[in-house]
Amino acid sequence: MTETIELKRVGDGNLRAQVYQQVRLTIQHGELAPGQKLVDVDIAARLGISRMPVRDALMQLVHEGYLVGTTRGFTLPTLTATDVADIFEVRRLLEPRAAAHAARTLDAAGLKTLAAALREAEAAAADGDADRFFQANSAFRNCWLGAVANERLSQTIARFVDHVLVVRLRTLSHQPTQAVIVAGMRAIYEAFVKRDAVAAYDRMTHFIQNAEERFMKLSPPFQNSDGEGKSMSRRGKS
């Protein structure tokens, strides 16, 4: 409960949105211990605002699956192997189609951004810089996902990606995995360049399958799916 979380106010709009952004970025950057408690009054004091906007933001994050809210504070969810498998199943269903969309709608500027992200990922992989690699990876996906015409589709995907993202830093630190991912990104990028929707679909399918295999293989702590500790018990749902 020391100064591990560093939140600063950003001029965006209402306080809730600001807090939401800050906390989500904190989570996405992995700057949060797996069992760390997020207490609204605590964050509120640190930001110099009242509990309510913080509480609203945290509840929104809970609802989106970024956090779990117990009666005793908000913490990161600890996904079981089943959870991860479920998320990947949904991603397998959605992302290939979305990639096919993007292959048709990406413009020159988008392709340029993708190329830059790809180069960055390659450089980071060469250096073994997991954090940079992670950032490049996110930039790559955010770019093509932003070109998808169907916003509900892209938003749903983004959410599920973020859910596994919490524990993804581990996978992305693994050198051979980085190589595989870069290869997959390049394949997808080339399909985008050729505006080949079918190729984009197929390569995205392959990419996700690879990612899931790698993830499962590299995560021995997830093997103990004792079935009892389904940690995603949400609060506030029906």
Partner DNA sequence: CGAGCTCAAACAGTATACATTATAGACTTG
Partner DNA sequence: CAAGTCTATAATGTATACTGTTTGAGCTCG
Q: Does 127 bind its own copies (CB under 8 A)?
A: no
- The partner residues of 38 in beta bridges, in order of sequence, read 74
Q: Residue 222 carries which side chain, given as an amino acid letter?
A: F
Residue 37 backbone dihedrals phi, psi, to 5 degrees: -90, 135
Binding track, positions 163-192, relative to its own copies; x by CB under 8 A: ------------------------------
User: Which of 26, 56, 132, 153 touches DNA by CB under 7 A?
Assistant: 56
Q: Does 78 bind its own copies (CB under 8 A)?
A: no
d(CA 25, CA 13): 17
- Residue among 53 and 184 whose Cβ is closer to DNA: 53
Q: Does 53 bind DNA (CB under 7 A)?
A: yes
User: Which of 26, 28, 60, 205 touches its own copies by CB under 8 A?
Assistant: 60
Q: Does 35 bind DNA (CB under 7 A)?
A: no
122 alpha carbon, distance to own chain's centre: 20
Q: Does 205 bind its own copies (CB under 8 A)?
A: no
73 alpha carbon, distance to own chain's centre: 22
d(CA 120, CA 206): 22
141 in Cβ contact with 164 (< 8 Å): no
The 3 state secondary structure assigned to 135-180 is HHHHHHHHHHHHCCCCHHHHHHHHHHHHHHHCCHHHHHCCHHHHHH
Among its own copies, DNA, none, what does residue 25 contact (CB within 5–8 Å per kind)?
none
Q: Which residues contact 71 (CB under 8 A, 6 or more apart)?
A: 235
Nearest approach, Cβ of 114 to its own copies (angstroms)? 21
Q: Does 152 bind its own copies (CB under 8 A)?
A: yes
Among its own copies, DNA, none, what does residue 53 contact (CB within 5–8 Å per kind)?
DNA
- Residue among 41 and 179 whose Cβ is closer to DNA: 41
User: Which of 15, 27, 87, 208 touches its own copies by CB under 8 A?
Assistant: 87
**Pairing verdict, β 73-75 and 68-70:** antiparallel
Q: Does 20 bind its own copies (CB under 8 A)?
A: yes
Residue 230 backbone dihedrals phi, psi, to 5 degrees: -60, 105
Q: Does 238 bind its own copies (CB under 8 A)?
A: yes
DSSP 8-state assignment for residue 69: E
Instruction: Return residues touching DNA (CB under 7 A).
Output: 14-16, 37-42, 49-53, 55-56, 58-59, 69-74, 235-236
Instruction: Return residues touching its own copies (CB under 8 A).
Output: 12, 14, 16-17, 20-21, 56, 59-60, 63-64, 86-87, 89-90, 93-94, 97, 150-153, 156, 160, 232, 236-238
